């Protein structure tokens, strides 16, 4: 069965420091990968997605992610975080086909401290 | 603003009751997905409709049902509510339901509290 794993439930980091949020997926077929962000009391906003092509994907707000097929990973990175980046980040995978239902990881809370 | 609207924003009801959550997809989107976000289960896929037809079911209880109307809005009906049904219910829409090349855009959610 397809699954998405986010090993870190919470990542504390100081403002202007770099950050990496880890995501691993399991699948025997090609997948489509996404990172969503959820700010407090809000819905989910798409940060970036990998469908095919270049393995380095750039998204909004200075975030980027790298698809690594051999390690089945899709880690999210930002070179310098801001207080406003404090939010819950969800990695998700879609299998494609007749339905593109998203399978979400458990989320990682990015807590940026001044 | 994703363009997906959900009503109501908050809903407080009692156990045993029935509620209806409504979702209007982005203009032009044919697919509607429902997800449930709870503290213990996380974000889980419930059901997917494409142009009025059910495409896939996930972890949706038999007490729950959904439909997509000709104008493409969707409703999620939750009946015989239990305390454990308290959660945030999200609707998402996308253009098609094809081979993964379209993106799902999420609404702001409906927070359901069952007392």
Compute the nearest-CA separation of A82 from chain B (Å).
Answer: 22
Structure tokens at A41: 């009391």
What is the longest distance spanned by two Cα atoms in chain A? 46
Q: Do B90 and A44 touch (CB under 8 A)?
A: yes
Query: From the CA of A57, how many Å to the nearest CA of chain B?
Result: 15
Query: Using CA of residue B58, residue B64, residue B70, residue B73, what is the dihedral sign?
Result: negative
Asked if B2 is an interface residue toward chain A (Cβ–Cβ < 8 A), one would say yes
What residues in chain B have per-residue pLDDT under 50?
A: none
Cβ-Cβ contacts under 8 Å, B43 against chain A: 90, 92, 102, 104, 107
Between chain A and chain B, the number of residue pairs with CB atoms below 8 A apart is 69
Q: What's the farthest any 2 CA atoms get from each other in chain B?
A: 41
Shortest CA distance from A34: residue in chain B = B103
pLDDT of A103 reads 87
Give the other-Cβ count within 10 Å of A51's Cβ: 18
- pLDDT (tens digit, 9 = 90+) per residue, B77-108? 999 999 999 999 999 998 875 555 578 899 99
Task: Give the pLDDT confidence of A24-82 residue by residue, as tens digits.
Answer: 998 766 678 999 999 988 889 999 999 888 899 999 999 999 999 899 999 999 999 99
Q: Do A100 and B109 touch (CB under 8 A)?
A: no
Q: Which residues, 6 or more positions from A98, have their beta carbon under 8 angstroms from its beta carbon? A: B55, B56, B97
């Amino acid at each position: 069965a397809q699954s998405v794993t986010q090993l870190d439930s919470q990542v504390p980091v100081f403002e202007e420091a770099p950050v990496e949020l880890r995501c691993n997926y399991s699948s025997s077929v090609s997948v489509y990968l996404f990172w969503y962000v959820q700010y407090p009391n809000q819905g989910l906003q798409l940060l970036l997605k990998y469908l095919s092509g270049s393995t380095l994907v750039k998204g909004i707000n200075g975030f980027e992610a790298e698809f690594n097929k051999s390690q089945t990973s899709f880690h999210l990175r930002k070179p310098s975080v801001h207080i406003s980046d404090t939010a819950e980040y969800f990695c998700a995978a879609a299998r494609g086909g007749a339905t593109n239902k998203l399978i979400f990881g458990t989320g990682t809370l990015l807590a940026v401290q001044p | 603003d994703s363009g997906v609207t959900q009503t109501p924003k908050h809903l407080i009801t009692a156990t045993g009751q029935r509620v209806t959550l409504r979702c209007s997809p982005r203009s032009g989107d044919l697919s509607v997905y429902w997800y449930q976000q709870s503290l213990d289960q996380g974000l889980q896929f419930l059901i997917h409709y494409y142009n009025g037809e059910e495409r896939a079911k996930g972890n949706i209880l038999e007490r729950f049902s959904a439909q997509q109307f000709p104008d493409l809005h969707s409703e999620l009906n939750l009946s015989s509510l239990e305390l454990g049904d308290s959660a945030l219910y999200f609707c998402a829409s996308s253009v098609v339901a094809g081979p993964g090349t379209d993106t799902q855009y999420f609404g702001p959610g409906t927070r359901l509290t069952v007392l």
